[in-house]
Amino acid sequence: MKYHQVLVVGGGLAGMRAAVACNRRNIKVGLLSKIHPVRSHSTSAQGGINAAMNNHVRGKHDDVMRHAFDTIKGSDYLADQDAVVKFTADAPHRIIEMENWGVPFSRNEEGKIAQRPFGGAGFPRTCYAADRTGMYLIQTLWEQVCKYTEASMREEMVIYDEWVCLKIIVEKNKAVGVVAWNLAEGKLEIFKADAIIMGTGGIGRIYSNTSNALTNTGMGMALAYWAGVPLKDMEFVQFHPTTLKGNNCLMTEGCRGEGGYLLNDKGERFLANYPDSSVAMEIAPRDIVSRNITREVMAGRGINGQDYVYLDLRHLGAEKIMTRLPGIRDLAMNFVGVDPITQPVPIQPGHHYTMGGIDVNENAATPVEGLYAAGECACVSVHGANRLGGNSLLETIVFGAIAGESAVKYIEDGGKTGDVSKTLEKGKKEVEDKILSIFESKGDEDPSLIREELQKVMAEKVGVFRNEKDLKAAHTKVQELRDRYKKIKIMNTSGLKFNQDLMWNMELEGDLDIAETIVAGALNRKESRGSQSRTDFPVRDDKNWLHHSTFTYTPKGAKLGKKKVTLGYFKPKERTY
Ligand SMILES: Cc1cc2nc3c(=O)[nH]c(=O)nc-3n(C[C@H](O)[C@H](O)[C@H](O)COP(=O)(O)OP(=O)(O)OC[C@H]3O[C@@H](n4cnc5c(N)ncnc54)[C@H](O)[C@@H]3O)c2cc1C
C-alpha cells in the first residue's frame, strides 16, 4: 500500500497546478496519471487564456468585473456569480505567475502580453502564445512539478505515470484512498491519502464528432459519481463552431478572433442574418455560432448543400497566419489538404467541452470530505450553460491552485485518514472481482460496437439542437447499451500488463454512465438555455429552470435533483450579441 498526504488523480493543467500548490506548502503529494502529464489534452489547447490585464480599447479599461459580467452573460445566467467573481479576480495574478514561471506569451508593440478578441468577450482579453497556448502552459507547469520530484533530489512529489485510477474509496462520507492499476507492471495497488484531488479532464470521446483526445473518456467523472458524489449540469455540452469537416480537429476561436470570416455556399457572412449574432458576427459565443451554422446547413446553404461551411482566413494575409496561427495552418494542410493562406477551410460544429461535471463549491470541495476536483472534470459552476472560449484554461490554473490550497488547509486543520485498511482492501477486492468477471465472461457482446453505437447516438440525437423524441430514443439506446455492456467479451485476457483492451473496456463503463446523465439531464430540462437548445421548448424559462441540475448514481441510472444558482451581481437579461 502506498501513502501520500494528498493524492492528485490527473496530470493535466488542473492536476499539476493543484500538486504544485500542495508542494509549495510542504505537503507530500502523489501525482497519478494514466498518460505522461505533458501528453494530457491540455497540451492541445490552442487559442488562449482569459484575464482582464487592464487592457484598454478606445479609452475604456478592461477589468475583472467586466470579465465577470461577460462570463455570466455567456453562461446564460446559470453560473454561480460569487464563484465567477472569485475566478475573474484571481485571473490576472495567475497569468503573471505563469509568465514568471516561463510561459512565452505573445507580445504587443509595447512589449506587454498581447490579447486577442474571443467569443462573447467585450474586450480583447485572451492571452496567447501563438496558437499553442496549452502546450506552453503544460511544459511550464511540468518544469514546476519537476522541481519537487526525486529528479531534483527532493521527494515532495512522486509521479505515477501510466497508472490508471479505477476506484475512489470512501468510508463514512470521507475519501480515504483509491485503487490504481500500474500498466507497466500489470499490478493493482492501493493508495491511501488524507485528501484526494480529481483533475481527470473532459469526456469528449462519448461523442463520435469530438475535438477531444482519445484519453478523454467518461471514466474520470464516473469515478466520483460511482463513489457517491453528485454530478452537476451534465446536459450542458459545448459544440465548437469550427472543427475540421470530417475529423473534427479544432480550428481555434483565435481564427475568428484574428478576423476570420464564416461563409455559406453563397459566399455570404451569414451570421449577419441572425439577430443573436448580427453585431458580434464571428465573435459571438460558441453556442450561438454553432446553432447558426447548423441552421444554414439545414436550410441547404452548406457548401455544395453539404454539412459544412467555410472558415475564410485568406484576407488576413500570409504573415499573420504564419505568426499567429501556424498550428492551425499545419492542421488544415495535414488533415484536409487545404492551405488557409490560399483556400477557405471546410468546418462544421463538433463536440468540444463539458460544462457539467463533479459537483464542487467555490473552494473546489465536493460534498464528500477530503475529496476535491478541479479543471474540466469539475463543475463549480463558473461556465453555467455555456463556457466562453479562453475561460477553461483559466479554470484549470485558478481552481487547480484553489483545490491544492483547500486540501492543504483541510490537512492542516487536522484532516487525516485513520486506520481504514479493511475498507481499502475491500475496495481492491471489488476491482479484482470486476476484472475477473470481465476475463471470465461467457457473454458475446463486442465492446467496440457498443462504443461506436454510443458515440453515434450521442452525436445524432444529443447534439446542437435537441427535442423530446430524439432524446427519448437516445435514452432508450443508452440504457440498452448499458445492459449489453454487462455481457461484453474482450479479446485480451492474458493479464494486466499494458492490457489496453481491458483498459478501454473498463473506461467504456464510465462512458455509458456519463452519457446516461447527459441524456437524462437534457430530457428533463424543458427550456433552451446556453448550449441546451430544445426545439420543442425554444425559450429560456427563468421562472421554472433557473437552477442547476444534479445527478446521483443509482445502478438503474441517474437520480435527478436540483440546486440553487447564486445570483447577486448581475440580473438575468435576454442574451444577444
Ligand atoms: C483541441 C482543444 C483545444 C482547446 N483550446 C482551448 C483554449 O485555447 N482555451 C481554453 O481556455 N480552453 C481550451 N480547451 C479546453 C481546455 O484545454 C481543457 O478544458 C483543459 O485543458 C482541461 O484540463 P484538465 O487539466 O482539466 O484536463 P486534461 O488536460 O484533459 O488532463 C486530464 C488528466 O487526467 C488523467 N486521467 C484521466 N482519467 C484518469 C484515470 N482514470 N486515472 C489516472 N489518470 C487519469 C489524464 O492522464 C490526464 O493527465 C481546448 C480543448 C481542446 C480539446
Domain CATH for 151: 3.50.50.60
Phi then psi for 216, rounded to 5 degrees?
Answer: -85, 80
181 CA to centre of ligand 1 in angstroms: 21
540 with 463, same domain? yes
Q: Does residue 57 surpass a pLDDT of 90? A: no
Cβ(74) – ligand 1 distance below 6 Å = no
Residue 506 lies in a domain: yes
Cβ(396) – ligand 1 distance below 6 Å = yes
Q: Ligand 1, closest atom to CA 14?
A: 25
Nearest to 18 by CA among 373, 354, 367, 360: 373
What 3-state DSSP class applies to 317? coil
183 with 292, same domain? no
Cβ(511) – ligand 1 distance below 6 Å = no
Q: Ligand 1, closest atom to CA 220?
A: 38
| CB of 22 closer than 8 Å to CB of 6 | yes
472 with 499, same domain? yes
222 CA to centre of ligand 1 in angstroms: 16
Angle (CA) 511 523 533, round 5°: 100
Q: How many CA atoms lie within 13 A of 392 on its CB side?
A: 29
Cβ(250) – ligand 1 distance below 6 Å = yes
Average pLDDT over residues 118-122: 90
Q: What is the pLDDT of residues 469-489, one digit of tens each?
A: 999 999 999 999 999 999 999
532 with 386, same domain? no
Q: Does residue 216 surpass a pLDDT of 90? A: yes
Cα(296)–Cα(161) distance, rounded to whole angstroms? 45
Q: Of 317, 333, 352, which residue constitutes the final position of a domain?
A: 352
Catalytically active residues, by annotation: 240, 256
Range of the domain at 399: 2-47+71-103+136-236+353-412
300 CA to centre of ligand 1 in angstroms: 35
264 CA to centre of ligand 1 in angstroms: 32
- The gap between the terminal CA atoms of the chain, to the nearest Å, is 55
Q: Does residue 202 surpass a pLDDT of 80? A: yes
Q: Ligand 1, closest atom to CA 393?
A: 11
| E strands, 93-186, in order | 115-116, 126-127, 157-161, 163-171, 174-182
Q: What is the pLDDT of residues 473-531, one digit of tens each?
A: 999 999 999 999 999 999 999 999 999 999 999 999 999 999 999 999 999 999 999 99
pLDDT band at residue 153 using 50, 70 and 90 as cut-offs: low
Cα(38)–Cα(373) distance, rounded to whole angstroms? 19
Structural domains in the chain (count)? 3
- Note the pLDDT of residue 77: 98
Closest C-alpha residue for ligand 1 atom 14: 45
Task: Convert 200-216 to b/e letters by CB count within 10 Å (16 or more is b).
Answer: bbbbbbbbbbbbbbebb
154 with 17, same domain? yes
Cα(542)–Cα(573) distance, rounded to whole angstroms? 10
267 with 281, same domain? yes
Q: Of 301, 332, 352, which residue constitutes the final position of a domain?
A: 352
Q: Does residue 54 surpass a pLDDT of 90? A: no
Residue 559 lies in a domain: no
Q: What is the pLDDT of residues 409-450, one digit of tens each?
A: 999 999 999 999 999 999 999 999 999 999 999 999 999 999
41 CA to centre of ligand 1 in angstroms: 4
- Position of cell 492541445? 44
Cβ(11) – ligand 1 distance below 6 Å = yes
31 with 176, same domain? yes
Provide, rounded to the nearest whole percent, the portion of the chain with pLDDT above 70. 100
Closest C-alpha residue for ligand 1 atom 20: 42
A 10 A CB-CB count for 61 gives: 11
Cα(7)–Cα(193) distance, rounded to whole angstroms? 6
79 with 220, same domain? yes
232 with 250, same domain? no
Cα(69)–Cα(183) distance, rounded to whole angstroms? 45
42 CA to centre of ligand 1 in angstroms: 4
β-pairing verdict for 309-312 and 261-263: antiparallel
Cα(530)–Cα(287) distance, rounded to whole angstroms? 6
Domain CATH for 325: 3.90.700.10
Q: Which H/E stretch holds residue 543?
A: helix 542-545
Q: Of 366, 392, 412, which residue constitutes the final position of a domain?
A: 412
Closest C-alpha residue for ligand 1 atom 21: 42
Cβ(201) – ligand 1 distance below 6 Å = yes
Q: Which residue from 7, 8, 40 has its CB within 8 A of the most atoms of ligand 1, so it is best to mutate?
A: 40
Closest C-alpha residue for ligand 1 atom 49: 11
538 with 397, same domain? no
- Mean pLDDT value across the chain: 96
Concatenated DSSP letters of 244-308: ETTT--B--THHHHTT-EEE-TTS--GGGGSTTTTTTGGGS-HHHHHHHHHHHHHTT-SGGGSS-
Average pLDDT over residues 71-81: 97
Cβ(382) – ligand 1 distance below 6 Å = no
Cα(63)–Cα(56) distance, rounded to whole angstroms? 9
